[in-house]
Chains A and B, each alone.
Chain A
Amino acid sequence: MTKAVINARPHKGISEKWKDHLFGYALLLPTFSVFSLVILFPIAKSIVMSFYNYTYASIKKGPTWNSFENYVTIFEEGFLSQLFRTLIFTVGTVGLELVIGMCIALLLNMNIRGRNAFRSLFLMSWTIPSIVTALLWSWLFNAQYGLIDFVLSRIGLIADPNMQWLQSPSLAMVTVIIAVVWRQTPYMLVMILAGLQSINQDLVEAAAIDGANAFQTFFRVKLPGIKTVLGNTIITCVMSSFQQFTIIMNMTQGGPMKMTTTMSIATYKLAFTSRNLGAGAAVGVIWMLLLGTGVTIYNHVSKRFDYE
């Protein structure tokens, strides 16, 4: 500040540097306004709501402060099981996306002809709308006429040719995970492939000259080389799995027996089906605390905002 004042020419008022800064701020203004209106204010309001008795019935009388009542309610409504379901779903989806995406990326990275064409073809499932993904996989997993039951029973992997997937408490989660993995893996694949291609090829060749085998090259050269991309991509995928709503809602509605009720389904149902907005907001607040803490720790450890 003082520096700016010293630099300022008397007849101009503010220095060139601060004019630059002000211009920069002005350019950010539209984005900042939308962010405030659509994200920041609603989030702040939801946090406040989580401490109020805020149901459709109580809105007319005016919401009343009820301290941690909503948080007690959500634990009675099975918050711990929803948290557990969310973690299974997230670990399942991101884990599979990582393994499958990594395998395909390594294959495509092997100097093959038509790599870019393959990459684009793999990305096709990522562009299919979520609602379509839900319908399509529900049809594939259909118990009466579905192709998957037919094929699996024909090759003898399952005994019952009409096996229930989406209606079975033990299989519904697996089914939903498969649908999400199908849609999201291409994203992971493209990011990993881009990371692999940014590795200096000399390092890989040097490792080969030194007699490193494929595994050693992968764990000692390639993996460290894509550490940053991989970390950021995993974080993005974890956050998006926590958020997954469309596919779960349209395949199972959170059932059967609440086995696919993740936090995002639970928040929606509490707020809009049970019409208890305060309790829905309370689930959201714990969710943001968990994710926020995780991301902050990750940012700190990886120093991901240090590069320019």
Chain B
Amino acid sequence: MINRRSPFKTLLIYLLVILLLALFLFPIYWMFIGSLKDNSVLMRLPPQLYPTFSTLESYKAVFSNAKYMKYILNSFIVASMTVVIDLVFSVFAGYSLSRFHYPGRKAIMTITLSAQVFPTVVIIISLYEFFSKFKLMNTYHGLSLADVAMSLPLSVWMLKSFCDSVPRSLDEAAKVDGCGRFMTMMRIVLPLLKPGMLAVGIYAFLMSWDDYMLGLVIMTKTPLKTLPVGISETFLGEFGFDYAGMMTISVVASLPVLLLFLVFQKYMVAGLTGGAVKE
């Protein structure tokens, strides 16, 4: 900056940023304090804007409900499997697209980036038949596989750009030393991709944790349902007026991803923006 900003202008910028931030964060605050009140307080006007810590009843209700515990466990199992499969597949594909210039490479990259043109809802119309044929309906690995397919396009793209930033001379040096192609990838390039893999892993977890439509169609048996589907069934149905319960399960469903993100946000931002900004 050539001319220094006046302190007044600086203050104005901070005030604006903080105001906007408050608007974005308020619903999250509202959810947290709502989960700590009971329904008699929530259904009272004017609304209480401050948190009270008098009741944990709705948390007790959630954690003593075997059905919820099962939904949460199912979501965790599916999301973890999704992360592992997505990472292995996207490291391979990202490395491949970054290093080898085989025929058809460009077409593959175009399809990868345009995969979102294919709507999930159109896929599920006929996914049922394929998944039945391969015995993937109502299985953890079936739903993970579907989740993997949804997160792979961006995962591959992110890892390709992380691979691009690893100097090729490393590969060549390894080759001169007699290292095979697979070992070059695993021993030389992979250790340098850790930040990228962290970003992709978190992204895959967020995607799978957020999925509602695929879970709705693939997991038809109650003991296998994932958390979003379970929440939707409960609160669009008989518990539509249990606002405290609604906010509590919302907190429970948000906390794992919120914490995961806050701990690793640096890698996440790098992963999201890395592939897009490069000229």
Contacts and interface: CB of A to CB of B under 8 A. Distances in A.
A295 interface: yes
A16 to B, nearest CB: 10
B45 A140 contact: no
Interface string B134-160: 100000000001101100100010000
A210 to B, nearest CB: 12
A99 interface: no
A49 B122 CA distance: 11
A171 B195 CA distance: 44
A280 interface: yes
B191 interface: no
Nearest to B100: A24
B126 A42 contact: yes
Contacts of B14: 112
A91 interface: no
Contact of B122 (A37, A46, A186): A46
A19 B10 CA distance: 59
Given A42-B130, A131-B212, A280-B125, A145 B119 contact: no
Contacts of B24: 121-122, 124-125, 182, 185-186
B121 A268 contact: yes
Given A104-B20, A119-B269, A120-B269, A42 B121 contact: no
A147 to B, nearest CB: 5
Interface string B234-267: 0110000001001100100110011011100110
Nearest to B24: A125
Contacts of A27: 92-93, 95-96, 185
B261 A124 contact: yes
Contacts of A191: 272-273, 276-277
B116 interface: yes
A163 interface: no
Contacts of A136: 27, 30-31, 247, 250
B30 to A, nearest CB: 7
Contacts of A285: 122
B119 A284 contact: yes
B176 interface: no
A28 to B, nearest CB: 5
B179 interface: no
A122 B125 contact: no
B114 interface: yes
A108 B261 contact: no
Contact of B277 (A25, A195, A209, A287): A195
A149 to B, nearest CB: 9
Contact of B118 (A123, A264, A288): A288
B277 A277 contact: no
B31 A239 contact: no
Contacts of B178: none
Interface string A215-239: 0000000000000110011001001
A113 B134 CA distance: 55
Contacts of A236: 116
Nearest to A280: B125
Contact of A140 (B30, B102, B127, B210): B30
A267 B125 CA distance: 9
A271 interface: yes
A21 B209 contact: no
Contacts of A281: 122, 125-126
A215 to B, nearest CB: 16
A111 to B, nearest CB: 6
Interface string B145-186: 110110010001000000000000000000000000110010
A31 B156 contact: yes
B45 A129 contact: no
List 4 A-B pairs, minimum CB-CB distance, nearest first: A24-B100, A284-B122, A38-B149, A194-B273
Given A42-B130, A135-B231, A150-B45, 11 more contacts: A43-B123, A46-B123, A104-B17, A116-B266, A121-B24, A127-B206, A128-B258, A130-B212, A208-B3, A292-B114, A292-B117
23 contacts: A19-B181, A23-B181, A30-B88, A37-B149, A42-B125, A108-B17, A120-B265, A121-B25, A124-B262, A125-B27, A131-B210, A132-B253, A135-B250, A136-B27, A145-B44, A145-B45, A147-B47, A150-B46, A194-B277, A198-B279, A249-B232, A284-B121, A292-B114
